[in-house]
Amino acid sequence: MNTVGEPQPARNQPPAISNAEVQRALDAILRDNLRQASLGLAILFGILAVNHQQLPEPARNVMIPLAGVTTLIFLGLYLLLRRYTLPLPWVNPLAGALAALILTNTFAHIYLTSDPLQTTNFVLLVIGLGFLMLSIWWFIGSLVVTVASWIVIVQLSPPDPAWRHFGFTLLSAIFLAIIVHFARVSGLKRQERLILEEERRQESLQTTLATTEATRRGLELTVIVAQSITSILNLDVLLNVIVEQIKKHYGYYYVGIFLLADNDRYIISRAGTGEAGRHLCETGFRLRVGEEGIIGWVAKHRQPAIVNDVTQDDRYVQVNAIPETQAELVLPLEVGGTLLGVLDLQSTQPNAFADEDVAVFRSLAAQVAIAIQNASIYESERARRLLAETLYDIGMALSQTLDRGKILELILNNLNEIVPYDRGSVMLRTGLDLEIVAARGFPPGTNFQTIRISIDRENDLFWHIYNNQEPLLIPDVSEWPSWVYVDDLPRAKSWLGVPLMLADEVIGMLSLARETATPYSEDEATLASAFGGQAAVALENARLYANVTQAYEQLERLDRTKSDFINVAAHELRTPLTTLRGYSQMLLNDPQVQSNVLHHQMVEGIYEGAIRLHEIVNSMLDMARIDSSTLQLHTRPVNLRLLIEKACHTLESIFEEREQTLVVNLPELPLVEADSNELLKVFQNLITNAIKYTPDGGAVTITGRAVPANEERLETAGVEIVVSDTGIGIAPEFQELIFTKFYQTGEVAVHSSSKTKFKGGGPGLGLAIAKGIVEAHGGHLWVESPGYDEQACPGSHFHVLLPLHFSTAAQQE
Ligand code: ADP
């Protein structure tokens, strides 16, 4: 394995050519020359063998076979050299041996003939050596041997001045041979050096070209990959496209991306090619940074790592899903000095990765890292926005219901959307106990109602949350000393507890558990807290609403009891009252009573009191009937003008008594389908009130009109009657209240008992009964008054609006 730093500079300068290399090139030339020379020499010695026929005996007997054998040796050598390539170190010794063979012939020839003229053969041999030999030492060696042989011959031969002459010729030949040798060798050396240099240059050029081509192709692919990823903003899609694109273009066995997680303690497989990739991501394959795998190493050291034989690297972790890996290249994914993760390339070929690949993939990794960062930023922004929207929606949903059961269901369902959990429960606090009021994700049949959790135990989870009023995150419950595993439940791995806060009070908690290894993050805790705030408000609203409803129901029950009592009491009172009225009337007509003024006055008082009481009891019965919706209406077409005139007629004497003016100003009105007895009570009440709350000398005016459909408060056509007075008026805040039963403005104690005196008292039922009757007819009764003022007397206007046609539906309303 080697760790690669910066990419190597390109090698443009080929290394220098050494002398040994040149010498080897020369030896190679000699080897070629030897082959050609051995053929030439074979032919030459063949001719010589024939030519040696002319030699005298005994030279001829020696020279012919010698030349013959030499011919055969050369011929054999030629054939061998054609067929086999002679190893270079043998080239010079062989050349020496050949020279020795020629020398032997030359030596024998001159020795046997003792003819100085044969020195010419030595001359030729010397020049030949100068030409053929390409190694200085072998050349000198063979030269020395040749000259020495000639000197030996001269010594052995009879003296002859010609030797001297040929000695000079030989000397000249030696010089010539040396010149030839050096000229040839230096020429060849120079030429070979050039050739070698050219070869080197070519070689280096090829390598550079190949590298450049690979880099170019790599960079081109980088651009393609980069282009195809920059526009993807979904992180998961992006990561998968990256790995698939790299695999497609570069053809590696496995390409994966790992991202840092869990406070950079782990590096987790986030995308990978093929089935293996899917498997690793689904199972949450992860490595400890700096401790496990080449990937963990790169994540710690933030340098690329090339491992060209994974079996030789002890950091390599064999992954079952990717069994055929031989070589691996891992690069850090960094943006602006921040490490996001690593890019992992694996090949089934050992030595698949070269240094040049690192340069290419570094550039790719840089672009991939930027794309990942962009997508992450976009995703987290989007997630934040989505969460804000979800929280808003949840808030809306929660605020739209006051049903506790529904709210609890909404809490558990919606919470799962923003902070996923496997098991969750909502707990509400009573004193120092928590009670589970709703749960989700528990096995069917789990009985929470019986579970009570105390928050009194020091250092317990719930104790912490209650006292700190903050969420509590437990990434690994096995590390929490007091964690209690509940039997029959799948084991929780991580847990999040959130307080439900209302102002400064913890009213309950949310408990969320995950069975997977993914722990809750701080972000999720914050979210759950925000959610908890809304949930707490919704639960509190539901509680308040439930309390109000309860109180209301209680009041209603009380009211019913009271109505029942009034009903019974009124019925009970009616019989004795009738008796009282009957007897007192008889007494009034009795002559004895009539003759005594005092007695007559007393009996008259009893009789009037009985009448008044009777009226009150009747009102109470009416009210009770209206309250219990048992008012029976016997409807027929009613002429309201006649009805009102009748009501006025019964009150004529009172108007006189109070010196009030009555103006009935009614046009011809359509008939109204109604119960005339009940309506009579309505108008009697209104007119009586008008008299009562108007000072002496005031005026009461009754007007009316036909009302078309959809005007005012009626959908159908109707009639409106207005009873106006010039009385004390009614303050706006009481204009609704006066229609509730037993309601009276002012103090009861100051009321006069007379039913028609100014501000005379009554049981406070008149308007309530009138409204009940009008509404039972499907109509409306209301008052309009500028306000209450006993001095200015702004007056009041009581409006009675009745539909022309009575419908039972209206009665039931
Ligand atoms: P009461 O038996 O007290 O008359 P009502 O139900 O008839 O009971 O009236 C309720 C209250 O409405 C009265 O006590 C009075 O304060 C007020 N009220 C009724 N009619 C008039 C009116 N025409 N002008 C001023 N106040 C009125």
Q: Mean pLDDT, to the nearest integer, of 742-750?
A: 57
Is 23 close to ligand 1, i.e. is its CB under 6 Å away?
no
User: Residue 322 is part of a domain; what is its CATH number?
Assistant: 3.30.450.40
* Residue position matching structure tokens 């972790």: 317
What is the position in ligand 1's atom list of the atom closest to the CA of 761? 3
Q: Does residue 44 belong to any structural domain of this protein?
A: yes
Task: At 379, give phi and psi (nearest 5°).
Answer: -65, -45
Structural domains in the chain (count): 5
The answer as to whether 787 is a domain residue is yes
Q: C-alpha dihedral over 428, 433, 436, 441, to 10 degrees?
A: 110
Q: Are residues 507 and 591 in the same domain?
A: no
The pLDDT value recorded for residue 306 is 93
Is the Cβ atom of 758 under 6 angstroms away from ligand 1? no
Are 620 and 514 contained in the same domain?
no
Residues 159 and 304 in one domain: no
- Please report the atom of ligand 1 found closest to the CA of residue 685: 7
Q: What residues does 631 pair with on adjacent strands? A: none
* Residue 5 confidence (pLDDT): 39
Nearest atom within ligand 1 for CA of residue 743? 10
Residues 282, 253 share a domain: yes
Q: Does one domain contain both 649 and 777? A: yes
**CA 690 to ligand 1: nearest atom:** 23
Q: Residue 7: is its pLDDT beyond 50?
A: no
d(CA 333, CA 270): 13
User: Is 395 inside any structural domain?
Assistant: no
Residues 664 and 772 in one domain: yes
| Residue among 477, 497, 524 nearest 426 (CA) | 497
H or E, element range at 356: helix 355-399
Specify the pLDDT at position 39.
Answer: 93
Please indicate whether residue 682, judged by its CB atom, sits closer than 6 Å to ligand 1. Answer: no
User: Per-residue confidence at 488, pLDDT binned at 50, 70, 90?
Assistant: confident
Q: Model confidence over 545-593: pLDDT tens digits?
A: 888 888 889 888 888 888 788 888 888 888 888 899 899 999 999 999 8
Tens digit of pLDDT for each residue in 220-265? 877 877 777 777 888 888 899 989 988 988 889 999 999 998 788 9
Tokens of residue 298, six digits = 């790169």
Q: Is the separation of the CB atoms in 780 and 736 below 8 Å?
A: no
Q: How far apart are CA 465 and CA 67, in angstroms?
A: 117
Task: From the CA of 764, give the closest atom in ligand 1.
Answer: 8
Q: For the beta carbon of residue 644, count every other beta carbon within 10 angstroms.
A: 25
List C-alpha distances in Å: 279 to 68, 271, 285, 347. 84, 10, 8, 19
Same domain for 444 and 544: yes
267 plus 295 within the same structural domain: yes
Instruction: Mark whether 587 and 568 lie in a shared domain.
Output: no
- What is the spatial distance between Cα 728 and Cα 760, in angstroms, rounded to a whole number? 13
pTM score over 0.85: no
Q: Scanning the structure block, which residue is given the tokens 């009191």?
A: 609
SS3 of 546-564: the string is HHHHHHHHHHHHHHHHHHH
Q: Considering the domain boundaries, does residue 13 fall inside one?
A: no
Buried b / exposed e along 744-759 (16+ C-beta atoms within 10 A)? beeeeeeeeeebbbbb
Of 342, 377, 412, which residue is a domain's last? 377
Instruction: Report the nearest atom of ligand 1 relative to the CA of 745.
Output: 16
Take atom 3 of ligand 1 and give the residue whose Cα is closest: 764
Say if ligand 1 is within 6 A of residue 766 CB: yes
In a domain, 780, yes or no: yes
12 found inside a domain: no
Q: For residue 734, which amino acid is it?
A: F
What is the Å distance from ligand 1's center to 338 Cα? 83
Please tell me if the CB atom of residue 687 comes closer than 6 angstroms to any atom of ligand 1: no
- Collect contacts of 484-492 with beta carbons under 8 A, ≥24 apart: 488/443, 488/446, 489/423, 489/442, 489/443, 489/446, 490/422, 490/423, 490/515, 491/515, 492/422, 492/423
- Residue-number span of the structural domain to which 184 is assigned: 19-199
Q: What is the CATH number of the domain that holds 782?
A: 3.30.565.10
- Check if 700 has its Cβ closer than 6 Å to any atom of ligand 1: no
Residue 3: per-residue pLDDT? 42
- Ligand 1: does its nearest atom lie under 6 Å from the Cβ of 693? yes
Tell me how far the alpha carbon of residue 606 lies from the centroid of ligand 1, in angstroms: 26
| Ligand 1: centre distance to CA 764 (Å) | 7
Q: Is residue 779 in contact with ligand 1, taking CB distance under 6 Å?
A: no
**In this structure, is residue 81 part of a structural domain?**
yes
**Tokens matching residue 338:** 């921040």
Q: Are 364 and 504 in contact (CB under 8 A)?
A: no
Tell me: do 606 and 721 sit in the same domain.
Answer: no
Domain assignment of residue 784, yes or no: yes
Q: Is the CB of 92 under 6 A from ligand 1?
A: no
Are 607 and 714 in a shared domain? Answer: no
Per-chain mean pLDDT for the chain: 87
Asked if the bond preceding 667 is cis, omega within 30° of 0, the reply is no
Q: Is the C-beta atom of 738 inside 6 A of ligand 1? A: yes
Could you tell me if 545 and 587 lie in one domain? no
Where does a domain end: 175, 199, 223?
199
